[in-house]
């Protein structure tokens, strides 16, 4: 069945809020057995829309579906049991397009979904953003496209723009295919993640262009509010995507309390980003009772990354310390070309497990000044010494094979390819480095001061 909204009196004036008319078409399509609801060319404003099983929303190439600027046009934070507002993130719990416990549904076409994020006061370009950030009463809507405990969902070829918060949230879902999305975040809006995949399985992301000021793609396992408390994140593939995030991570792996496993990332181009891959088992908000996410069996291959920081992989977001953390194991990076100004970090907490790490066919060029990054993230990089291109602390069975490092600038402070604590298990095969025209030594060991600094990091 096809329902054409232009035949139902939809007005493309870009002002009238037409939630009820669009929702009526979706509901009628579902009650008739399913099909496609077609939005014609034009600018249409709506509040929260609930997708139904067996219904696909089609946006023509010149269609813009724009979120309402009025808070009252969105769902309440307690509209369903999984949902909630976030005081820390200044979100209301209201969403634009909701897939709640539905099957075989999706959004397709070449049109645009505009989150209208600049209509809300929580943004950086207000006169005093510091005061706005401290005032928890100042809110904006939550994730723009929200998939919760649904299955067999398709998002294809649409453009996501100007989201007030995360663009697309896949939470507790199965069998999700996301392909051909063009995501552009407004840099004035904080927390504008691209695609967040959380506690979900059998997910494919491909052929997407993502340009955000926060994380481009995340793998998470924050399942506390889900009905399915056994949910984990597993069997996810991401391929043929181009990512850019001047302020955060192209990939953030971690967050929550559970399991992340069996994920493949391939054929990725990362440009102009703060960090390439940030993989952390425990975050500052985790506790010993809920210490974070176990992360295992991840592969990154055929990657070009141009970022201030290439890879941070570790037990804890603030650097190695004595706090409890879940294991990180069997992580592989192969066929990687990286341009960076900060060292690469692979490290384990005392008593934690970070093991079976492989860096193979890896080419690194370091340039610029290895400045630390205090203003963004969770202090991951404040210990970036620059003394070693790869900082490896406490990892077991770390293999580096066919790795080449080039540092064009003689003034760059690197003293060796690998700076380690001397306690891990590092195996090298054809690993070499050059600083200017001169060979760079393979190994250096932490100084007593660096060891002590690692023990005393804030927890």
| Contact (Cβ atoms closer than 8 angstroms) between residue 293 and residue 314 | no
Per-residue pLDDT of 93-114, as tens digits, reads 999 999 999 999 999 999 999 9
Residue 409 has pLDDT above 90, yes or no: no
Q: Choose the weakest-confidence range: 144-153, 166-175, 350-359.
A: 350-359
Whether the predicted pLDDT of 433 surpasses 70 = yes
Contacts of 186 (CB under 8 A, 6+ apart): 117, 118, 123, 161, 162, 163, 192, 213
What is the C-alpha separation between 375 and 389, in angstroms, rounded? Answer: 22
Band (40; pLDDT cuts 50, 70, 90)? very high
CA gap 115, 123 in Å, rounded: 13
Give the model confidence (pLDDT) of 255-275 as tens digits.
Answer: 999 999 999 999 999 999 999
Are 393 and 348 in contact by the 8 Å Cβ rule? The answer is yes
Gap between the Cα atoms of 302 and 220, Å rounded: 23
Neighbours of 6 (CB within 10 A): 14
Kindly tell me if the per-residue pLDDT of 26 is higher than 90: yes
pLDDT at position 350: 76
What confidence score (pLDDT) does residue 449 get? 62
Residue ranges and CATH numbers for the domains of the chain are: 2-244 (2.160.20.10)
Q: Percent of the chain scored above 90 by pLDDT?
A: 73
For residues 5 and 39, the answer to whether their CB atoms sit within 8 Å is: yes
Instruction: State the DSSP code for 455.
Output: H
pTM: 0.95
pLDDT of residue 126: 83
Listing DSSP states for 5-41 in one string gives GGGGT---SSSSB-HHHHHHHHHHHHHTT-EEEEE-S
Q: Angle 32-35-38 (CA atoms, 0-180°, nearest 5)?
A: 115
């Amino acid at each position: 069945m096809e329902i054409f909204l232009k035949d139902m009196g939809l007005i493309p004036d870009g002002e009238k809020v037409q939630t009820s008319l669009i929702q009526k078409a979706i509901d009628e399509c579902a009650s008739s057995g399913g099909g496609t609801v077609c939005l014609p060319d034009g600018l249409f404003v709506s509040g929260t829309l609930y997708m139904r099983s067996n219904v696909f929303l089609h946006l023509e190439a010149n269609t813009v579906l724009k979120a309402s600027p009025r808070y009252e046009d969105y769902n309440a934070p307690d509209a369903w049991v999984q949902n909630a507002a976030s005081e820390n993130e200044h979100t209301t719990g209201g969403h634009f397009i909701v897939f709640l416990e539905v099957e075989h549904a999706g959004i397709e076409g070449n049109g645009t979904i505009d989150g209208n994020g600049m209509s809300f006061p929580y943004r950086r370009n207000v006169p005093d953003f510091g005061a706005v950030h401290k005032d928890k009463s100042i809110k904006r809507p939550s994730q723009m496209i929200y998939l919760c405990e649904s299955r067999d969902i398709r998002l294809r070829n649409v453009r996501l723009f100007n989201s007030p918060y995360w663009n697309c949230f896949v939470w507790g879902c199965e069998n999700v295919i996301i392909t051909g999305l063009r995501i552009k975040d407004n840099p004035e809006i904080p927390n504008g993640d691209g695609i967040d995949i959380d506690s979900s399985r059998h997910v494919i992301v491909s052929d997407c262009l993502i340009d955000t000021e926060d994380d481009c793609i995340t793998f998470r396992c924050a399942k506390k509010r889900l009905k399915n408390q056994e949910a984990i994140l597993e069997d996810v593939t991401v391929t043929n995507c181009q990512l850019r995030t001047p302020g955060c991570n192209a990939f953030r792996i971690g967050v929550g309390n559970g399991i992340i496993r069996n994920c493949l990332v391939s054929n990725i181009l990362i440009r102009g980003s703060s960090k390439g891959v940030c993989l952390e088992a425990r975050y500052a908000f985790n506790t010993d009772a809920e210490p974070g996410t176990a992360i295992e069996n991840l592969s990154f291959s055929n990657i070009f990354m141009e970022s201030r920081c290439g890879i941070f992989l570790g037990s804890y977001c603030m650097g190695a310390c004595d706090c409890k953390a879940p294991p990180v194991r069997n992580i592989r990076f192969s066929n990687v070309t990286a341009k960076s100004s900060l060292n690469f970090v692979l490290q384990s907490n005392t008593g934690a497990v970070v093991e079976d790490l492989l860096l193979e066919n890896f080419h690194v060029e370091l340039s610029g000044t290895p400045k630390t990054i205090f203003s963004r993230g969770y202090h991951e990089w404040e210990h970036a010494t620059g003394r070693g291109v790869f900082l490896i602390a406490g990892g077991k069975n770390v293999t580096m094979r066919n790795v080449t490092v080039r540092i064009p600038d003689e003034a760059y402070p690197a003293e060796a390819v690998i700076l380690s604590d001397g306690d891990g298990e590092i195996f090298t095969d054809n690993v070499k480095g050059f600083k200017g025209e001169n060979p760079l030594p393979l190994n250096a060991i932490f100084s007593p001061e660096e060891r002590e600094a690692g023990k005393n990091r804030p927890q």
